[in-house]
Chains A and B, each alone.
Chain A
């Protein structure tokens, strides 16, 4: 896969004179086409600063950022970009429909299709027509998150930058945001996601980078054969646990018993899981559940302090 986003040795400092804060220090990373990259780190780690640099809102002190080989503020790059900010104070004087219509037209959308596209975007995030007619200042945080997501995904951008897209929303809102990210992924969009919701990051991201005190401290691949840290668990009926273990052992797959009639597979890659399920099926052991987890919370705790 080709590299779409390239960040090389980026350093960014805030403040002047004696009160300087180094927000990013020598950060380098690449994002491949169609990849979903998660940015993880504690508050104040530099994640939003990195996103702001990628969007051209901030200029790094040193280093370079390129998207598709172009400057990040190149208008061609912007035409491919969707962005959802963490802070949702935007355009409070406009109605939801006016806000989406404005962004549809600003992103180069056909003016004749504005109404249709606005309603389609609202439908995608579960905002009804009544809500679209209301001013944004009357929206709840959850509704602002949804309309923010709707504007970010207008015209199906090839690049999506999401800054805490589901923070503070109810479970339905979280699910809607997840659906939108997965839909963008399915289209082949390249996504950079900054989120504290590790379970969501785990569900949608192909790779995560840990940022702490402005430094990139760790990278973990979550999907595919290159997944470096993943736990895969199969659940079988409790009375078939021993038979399942024996079937896996016969197939050369090592597994350890876990709670609630589960078996933790030693090889957690997608191929390993497929082999295990096949072995169990051939042994006529019902598989009740297969669960893969990247143990991000564990990794988050493990990430070495800078």
Chain B
């Protein structure tokens, strides 16, 4: 598994373009309040995670890997851990940039607090949910279709809810909201990790969504055939 994680990190961080883009995004995310820029974090995660399986499959790398003593689920687990390791490095860089910015602005003391650790872990857990959904799409769709799939799903949920409300169709709006709550549950990690509130229902949905996406991805990958011709 460590070999799989190392390979993923090398694939991502040996590309100057990816490293440069992630550094810029880390600076955006580092802007106080640190680690709070959701869209920039999402873009970084899309950059890290998209094509995790599909690009391996289209390049032929996956076929050579699957000829080795590693199960398809192990491979998938290795990709997910690789994504999370790369994302953790990105968040760590953003945290360091944030600390440097705060030091310049004179607010180091307030930034070096449990709140920062909570923001870090919360961002990582938010990232896991998106990563596992991207991984599922990556087992189904070619190339960077996983990123597109994720964005289309998000747009579909948002617009369906708005459409339903606009059309006065309460059922449609409610169904879209329910689907979004279940597949992309919004857990207030900062509150949970601070021990202030324990939203069991939201946490349950989060665990279920993450598990379900990974199980579905494993099921799709285990059934998939890999061919590159009919010779």
Instruction: Give chain A's interface residues, CB within 8 Å of chain B.
Output: 14, 21, 23, 43-49, 52, 55-59, 75-76, 78-79, 81-83, 85-95, 98, 102-103, 105-108, 135, 151, 161
Q: Across the interface, do B6 and A102 meet the contact criterion of CB distance under 8 Å?
A: yes
Return chain A residues, CB-CB under 8 Å to B70. Answer: 75, 78, 106
- B204-230: CB near A (< 8 Å → 1, else 0) gives 000000000000000000000111111
Bound Cα distance A151, B68 (Å): 11
Closest to A59 in B: B225
Contact of A85 among B4, B14, B58, B64 (CB under 8 A): B64
Query: Inter-chain contact count A-B, CB under 8 Å?
Result: 101
A88 partner, pick from B2, B60, B227, beta carbons under 8 A? B60
Any A CB within 8 A of the CB of B112: no
B15: CB under 8 A from chain A?
A: yes
Q: Known contacts A48-B230, A75-B70; can you find 13 more A-B pairs with CB under 8 A?
A: A44-B231, A46-B230, A47-B231, A55-B66, A57-B66, A75-B71, A76-B69, A86-B229, A89-B59, A90-B59, A90-B64, A102-B3, A108-B69
A81, B3: Cα distance in complex, Å: 19
Report the nearest B residue to A15, measured CB to CB. B230
Q: A93-B11, A102-B6, A107-B69 are in contact. Are A151 and B227 (CB under 8 A)?
A: no
Q: Is the CB of A48 within 8 A of B64?
A: no
Given contacts A75-B71, A102-B7, contact A93 B14 (CB under 8 A): yes
In the complex, whether B67 has a CB less than 8 A from a CB of chain A is: yes
B230 and A90 contacting across the interface, CB-CB below 8 Å = no
Q: Which residues of A contact B24 (CB under 8 A)?
A: none
Q: Number of contact residues on B: which range applies?
A: 20 to 34
B226 with A52: CB separation less than 8 A:
yes
B40 nearest CB across to chain A (Å): 24
Contact call A58/B227, Cβ cutoff below 8 A: yes
Asked if B153 is at the interface of the complex by the 8 Å CB criterion, the answer is no
Name the B residues within 8 Å of A75 (CB-CB): 69-71
